[in-house]
Amino acid sequence: MMIHFTDRARETVQDFLDQSNDENLALRISMSGSPVSPNFDLTLVNANELAEDEIMVDGGGFAVFLKGDDQEALEGATVDFVERVNESGFEVRPMKKRDGPRGTPTGPIADRVRDVLDSQVNPAIAAHGGMISLVDVEETDVYVEMSGGCQGCALSRMTLRQGVERMLREAVPELTAVHDVTDHASGDNPYL
């Protein structure tokens, strides 16, 4: 099992461990949410709290606990400590899978969402070189990915929340959430 900690993340974890004055601590990384858009929680725990369904790996000077179910998603992941305007914290970036494209989401919700994206949304954002694709559907939650001029664009969040999500909810009222799974940090062609 290989997880990479950036120097900044490793130093920050080590600072937390040093401040705790407890030499018997480990870092637990747990995952929740959809595999398409996972959420990761990092917590300091007592080193003797390793659960039966967890493994221990070396984080570069400290122990890291991972649940067995999360190992595949965390294989090759990078843990970083980031500071942005109005926020700072740990960020876990899973390794991009190279096993080909995901299957196309199917079902009535997927069909209706795809229809709205193809007929209303994408023609409107094409002038900016953008495109939004349906990536996954879990019950009444949908996961979309922005590309082209939308990827990395400062207005992408507003476009999604005030435009795209509104159109999708009008056409598919049973939707409970629209999640953006775009890696905006890697966008290299945003519309400015």
- The domains located in the chain, with CATH, are 4-93 (2.60.300.12), 108-186 (3.30.300.130)
The secondary structure of 30-91 as a DSSP string is EEEE-SSSEEEEEEEEEGGG--TTEEEEE-SSSEEEEEGGGHHHHTT-EEEEEEETTEEEEE
CB neighbour list of residue 33: distance below 8 Å, 6 or more residues apart:
39
Residue 20 carries which DSSP code?
H
Task: Report pLDDT for 174.
Answer: 93
Task: Report pLDDT for 160.
Answer: 82
Q: Are the C-beta atoms of 29 and 98 separated by less than 8 Å? A: no
- The answer to whether the pTM exceeds 0.75 is no
Task: Report pLDDT for 142.
Answer: 87
Per-residue pLDDT tens listing for the chain (192 residues): 578 888 999 999 999 888 887 888 999 998 887 666 678 888 999 988 888 888 888 888 899 998 877 777 777 788 888 887 777 888 887 765 444 345 678 889 999 999 999 998 888 888 778 888 898 888 888 888 888 877 777 777 888 888 888 999 999 999 988 888 877 666 555 544
Counting every residue written for the chain, the total comes to 192
